[in-house]
């Protein structure tokens, strides 16, 4: 799905190795402060190539606001944002037309549309999440500004390694009540705030990568109104 939302509506565009990816955000009120500096930190947090655990693709992921703002203020019109793809290597994926990647959306996409971009996963690539992150950064700013809402997410499980997330685990409940984004970012590339579990998760991902395999994970998201 490329478009979602009603009051706050987001449409993402772009393929994995095309010239650019981005989004259009409609529904942002006028006269609110907004610049690239509000959005860039979140795109920097998700950019590839930050550690040996992530894809080695090298992208700066610098966001440009194309429309919907003027002099650092929103106009109430659709906000267009673009991120240029610099590390474009579509030829690296030529074999996926013959051998779809396991646990990837290559085959699903081809079965649904009977065609797909030759460059990587096309629209089913994780590169598509750039538009979602950029739109989320706008939503997050105004939730904090208008409603004093804070949102923090962290990795709580990778494969069979997991934090005990039961409501009877007092340390986990305390973690939910006190966790901050700075703490998450200080946890290293796995972004799990429980040190021993983070170490286990890291080894699991490294072993999967060494075996040319992949492994799934769980993200816990905390949304709260600050007092």
CA–CA distance, 219 with 41 (Å, rounded to integer): 20
Nearest to 197 by CA among 154, 166, 153, 168: 154
pLDDT of residue 17: 80
pTM for the structure as a whole: 0.83
Q: Which two tokens stand for residue 145?
A: 């500004």
Give, for all 227 residues of the chain, the pLDDT tens digit. Answer: 799 999 999 999 998 888 899 999 999 999 999 999 999 999 998 886 656 666 655 567 899 999 999 999 999 999 999 999 876 555 555 555 567 777 777 788 888 888 777 666 677 778 889 999 999 999 999 999 889 999 999 999 999 999 999 989 999 999 999 999 999 999 888 999 999 999 999 999 999 988 988 899 999 999 999 87
| 159-168 own/partner pairs: CB under 8 Å, 24+ apart | 159/201, 159/204, 159/208, 159/215, 159/216, 159/217, 160/204, 161/197, 161/200, 161/201, 161/204, 162/197, 162/218, 163/192, 163/194, 163/197, 163/220, 165/220
């Amino acid at each position: 799905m490329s478009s979602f939302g009603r009051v706050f509506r987001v449409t993402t565009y772009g393929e994995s190795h095309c010239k650019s990816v981005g989004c259009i955000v409609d529904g942002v009120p006028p006269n609110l402060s907004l610049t690239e500096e509000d959005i860039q930190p979140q795109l920097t947090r998700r950019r590839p190539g930050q550690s040996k655990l992530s894809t080695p693709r090298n992208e700066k992921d610098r966001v440009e606001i194309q429309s919907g703002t003027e002099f650092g203020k929103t106009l109430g019109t659709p906000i267009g944002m673009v991120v240029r793809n610099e590390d474009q290597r579509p030829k690296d994926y030529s074999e996926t037309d013959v051998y779809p990647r396991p646990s990837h959306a290559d085959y699903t996409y081809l079965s649904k549309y009977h065609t797909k971009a030759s460059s990587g996963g096309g629209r089913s690539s994780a590169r598509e999440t750039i538009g979602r992150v950029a739109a989320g950064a706008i939503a997050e700013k105004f939730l904090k500004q208008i409603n004093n809402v804070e949102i923090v997410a962290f990795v709580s499980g990778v494969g069979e390694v997991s934090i005990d997330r039961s409501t009877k685990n007092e340390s986990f409940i305390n973690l939910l009540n006190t966790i901050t984004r700075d703490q998450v970012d200080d946890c290293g590339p796995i972004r799990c705030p429980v040190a021993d579990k983070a170490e286990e998760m890291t080894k699991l991902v490294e072993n999967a990568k060494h075996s040319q395999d992949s492994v799934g994970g769980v993200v816990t998201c905390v949304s709260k109104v600050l007092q």
